[in-house]
Chain A
Amino acid sequence: MNVPIPGEIDRRLLNDRSVSGRIGVRMPDLDVPEQPLPDSGLLRSVPAHLPEVSQPEVVRYFTTLSRMNFSIDTNFYPLGSCTMKYNPKINEEMAFLPGMGGIHPHQPDETVQGALQLIWELQSDLGEITGLPGVCLAPLAGAQGEYTGLMVARAYFADRGETARTVALIPDSAHGTNPASAAMAGLDVITVPSDSDGNVNVEALRGLVDERTCVFMLTIPSTLGLFEPNILEITSVVHEAGGLVYADGANLNALLGIVKIGDLGFDIAHSNLHKTFSTPHGGGGPGAGPVLVSEELRRFLPTPVVERTGDDYRLVAPPDTIGRVNGFHGSFGVLVRAYTYIRAVGVEGMREIAENAIINANYIRSALSGEFGIAVDRICMHECVLSPQAQKAKGVSALDISKRLIDYGIHPPTMYFPLIIPEALMVEPTETESKDTLDRFIAVMRQINREIEEDPDLLHDAPHDTPNTRLDEAGAARNPYLHWRPEQNSQAAD
């Protein structure tokens, strides 16, 4: 045992706490006669080296770890493009009802009518909210929804014999998943430039669309948090060239009840339920990324979707389905949470979500535009992008500002994205934060701005009071240390 240090957290790994003979849970006794074992060549010769810890140790260990996290339940978390809104507790309770959390995916349809009805209702509600009536809830995350949507586009063109349509046009401000998914779908990626206002350069787009265009993928609202003013022109430019328009609607928070993306000419979209529809992020998943399409594309959706005949609900494969993209019917537990949320919010609450999200983002934008540059300083939707280049000139980066926010108990905004904005800090407050919280955030940002003048090292060395100060990420990548090793038995070099 090392010499204890006051304030130090005991972070030894489970295998370093393991004591032979301890157990964390008692298993039932074998209640049938022992059966003959197979050929020993098939059997494990050494047991898996799992830790041996008692139940109280398990609980204390994981509880201690949990307290080293920032989370929505404990901190303001204005992480742009991620929509870290409050995750209602009732969602969790509903997802873990035995009749929801305990049912087997292979059960015959007639034994899971309640689950299938829930899926059908959610399909309908999402179709109504987005104006894209063909909905499949199977994709397990936004990126999978994206890939699925692109496969639908390819199947549609294959069906029409337009096999030369192999280009995905993607704005330079897009998320990395867009080009990555397009590449998986066998599409060549051509980048569409943005204009100085952060909008799609429509003239450039006009020059790029042709008979090879499969899709134009557009994030809406844009990754700058702006609503594309030329949206109707953009969708018609693509349609005139025979292409489809894909909405990366990962984040629909600013659009609920404000506009249906289907009305704007989008043909395909995906939406992340773990953003707009309040399901928890869980430290990096699980998500759910339903794919939504126009009536014309519906028959190509992945399998399964739920169909209703009278009061009977069935899992079916759409007639020209692109096939199966994951093991079962999607992240059902996430779907239950999203459905619970939509029912709690109701028709009257949808627009209220978007309005409050937009007001909150603009409130921050207008308050901070003086001290911190705003990438494109016009009215924004659910988020705004700061570009603190004046601070950078004084030797303080967006990273330093982010790390200093941690000292004030605020999770950093999304940094260095979108790539086209220097020193980008993307702030998305969401509708579930109060004016008080925003006022404090604004005050903290102003104070940080003063600290840059008075004591910039406060920022360079931040954060100060977290379980770890800044980590050596270069060292981690140069010498990958990726799992427990026996020799690792001390947690502090000093």
Chain B
Amino acid sequence: MTTPGDRKYSDEHEWALVEGNIATVGITQYATDSLGDVVYVDLPDTGATISQFDKFGEIESVKAVSDLFSPVGGTIVEVNTGVADMPEKVNQDPYTVGWLLKIELADPSQLDKLMDATAYDNLTAE
């Protein structure tokens, strides 16, 4: 699968897709592949505020657990309850049905600290 060019990436393997002042956040295909079958996603409540690169939750496979770090800071306006109920959606497609949070951006300039798809592909190719 190609890395979508419409969004930005963190070196912790999360992506952010910005529409207006709302960023949708999820994990990358690379992260999904290294986790294997996702069995549980622990997500925060809506309304919480979060700083860029802070931990916001955990994602678990059968025999591994990883922290989730937010690529952007702001207020959480929506969480993907579909993923909480059916974690396999992350495996289906982490870039669409497997999204995790929608965050109202605190500071759009934070996006400058993230990579584009090409830079991210170079990182994961190493």
Interface residues of A (CB under 8 A from B): 473-474, 477-478
Contact = CB atoms under 8 A, between A and B. Distances in A.
Given A474-B88, A477-B39, 14 more contacts: A473-B62, A474-B36, A474-B37, A474-B39, A474-B61, A474-B62, A477-B40, A477-B60, A477-B62, A478-B39, A478-B40, A478-B86, A478-B87, A478-B88
16 contacts: A473-B62, A474-B36, A474-B37, A474-B39, A474-B61, A474-B62, A474-B88, A477-B39, A477-B40, A477-B60, A477-B62, A478-B39, A478-B40, A478-B86, A478-B87, A478-B88
A478 B86 CA distance: 7
Contacts of B62: 473-474, 477
A411 B62 CA distance: 22
Nearest to B36: A474
Contacts of B87: 478
Contacts, number: 16
A368 B87 CA distance: 41
Interface in B29-51: 36-37, 39-40
B80 to A, nearest CB: 15
Interface string B85-105: 011100000000000000000
B122 to A, nearest CB: 24
Contacts of A477: 39-40, 60, 62
A412 to B, nearest CB: 15
Contacts of B37: 474
Q: Which 6 A-B pairs have the closest CB atoms?
A: A474-B37, A477-B39, A473-B62, A478-B39, A474-B39, A474-B62
A478 B37 CA distance: 10
Contacts of B86: 478
Nearest to A474: B37
A23 B36 CA distance: 47
Nearest to B40: A477
B36, B39, B86 pick with most chain A CB within 10 angstroms: B39
A470 to B, nearest CB: 12
A474 B60 CA distance: 10
Nearest to B86: A478
B83 to A, nearest CB: 11
A293 B40 CA distance: 42
A405 to B, nearest CB: 20
A117 to B, nearest CB: 46
Nearest to B60: A477
Nearest to A416: B63
Contacts of A478: 39-40, 86-88
Nearest to A477: B39
A177 B46 CA distance: 35
A478 B90 CA distance: 12
A477 B40 CA distance: 8
Contacts of A474: 36-37, 39, 61-62, 88
B46 to A, nearest CB: 23
Contacts of B36: 474
Nearest to A473: B62
Nearest to B39: A477
A474 B87 CA distance: 10
A473 B60 CA distance: 13
B37 to A, nearest CB: 4
A476 B87 CA distance: 12
Contacts of B60: 477
A474 B61 CA distance: 7
A478 B60 CA distance: 10
A477 B60 CA distance: 10
A474 B36 CA distance: 9
Contacts of B39: 474, 477-478
A477 B62 CA distance: 7
Nearest to A472: B37
Contacts of A473: 62
A473 B37 CA distance: 9
B87 to A, nearest CB: 6
A177 B62 CA distance: 19
